[in-house]
Structure 1
Amino acid sequence: MSHKILILDDDSDILFFCTYVFENMGFEVTSSTHCNDIIAQVESADPDMVLIDNWIPDIGGVKATQQLKASEHLKEIPVILFSANSNLSELAEEAGADDYLRKPFDLDELEDLALKHVKTSR
């Protein structure tokens, strides 16, 4: 059974790169350039993990993550916040994210993080 990941970023280059990496790892990838209706997007994608950019329109990664973590049936899904913000660890904590990844990141960091969280999820 392949794992599913939902990637939310308004930067098409990042989406392309991440999609390529995860598909090569055998993931089923769903991506979106906004986090509107975040609950509906996650329900529809049914991912094992969510990767979300802090600066995504409209409400941003922190608020979108808070909404997911406040949702009884979605809060167990690991959410990883990624951003170039220098205070990313504080943002991730405020969001209730399970982890964070600093941009720019390299391939190994991305793969390691994904494997770590997929192993621990459902």
Structure 2
Amino acid sequence: MEAADKKLVYVLEDNANIGDIIEFLLTEELYEVKVCKSVACFWDEMSQKKPDMIVLDIILPDGNGLDICKQLKRNISTHQIPVMMMSGNNYLSKVKSKCDADSYINKPFDLNDFMQRVDFYSHSA
């Protein structure tokens, strides 16, 4: 598969172990993946190229995934990009009321469930 044919997924996750697992999983499934460990890195990547999907952790060292989701969904140039929020805290009902993400997943997550969601949303963009 040509690199141009691959779907691009940005992952904003400060936990290196989780970021590595997601990157490995998506790369194995022939996605192009960019893992960012900080909000600053994420916005830098966004300024260079728009992805087909974004996976956002909620609690980050230099920001909040909910705020990023709101910014993305309010911006005309990014509102159509599917966003999946993930959190280690089981308060997704609160998260859903604060952010118009396309999908929500709790950590730890089932790898098959995660991939099904990415496949669905990245190809519906």
TM-score, normalising length: structure 2: 0.89
Aligned equivalent of 1:51, options 43, 49, 55 = 55
Q: Which residue of 1 aligns with 2:23?
A: 19
- SS of 2:33 mapped into structure 1: strand
Aligned residues: 121
- SS of 1:30 mapped into structure 2: strand
Q: What's the RMSD between the two structures over aligned residues?
A: 1.5
Mapped contact 2:12–2:42 kept (Cα < 8 A): no
Is 1:63 aligned to residue 63 of structure 2? no
How do 1:1-122 residues align onto structure 2 when only pairs under 5 Å count?
Answer: 1-36=5-40, 38-121=42-125
Mapped contact 2:12–2:56 kept (Cα < 8 A): yes
Q: Please, which runs of 5 or more residues in structure 2 have no aligned partner?
A: none
Question: Could you tell me how far apart the structure 2 residues matched to 1:109 and 1:57 are?
Answer: 27
Q: Identity percentage over the alignment? A: 25
Q: Please, which runs of 5 or more residues in structure 1 have no aligned partner?
A: none
Mapped contact 2:66–2:98 kept (Cα < 8 A): yes
C-alpha deviations, 1:53-108, integer Å up to 9, x for none?
A: 01112221100111111111011000110002221232134121111111000210
Mapped contact 1:22–1:29 kept (Cα < 8 A): yes
Residue type matched to 1:49 in 2?
M
Mapped contact 1:48–1:77 kept (Cα < 8 A): yes
TM-score, normalising length: structure 1: 0.91
Mapped contact 1:47–1:77 kept (Cα < 8 A): yes
Mapped contact 2:36–2:42 kept (Cα < 8 A): no
- SS of 1:89 mapped into structure 2: helix
Q: Report which stretch shifted further, 36-45 or 59-68.
A: 36-45
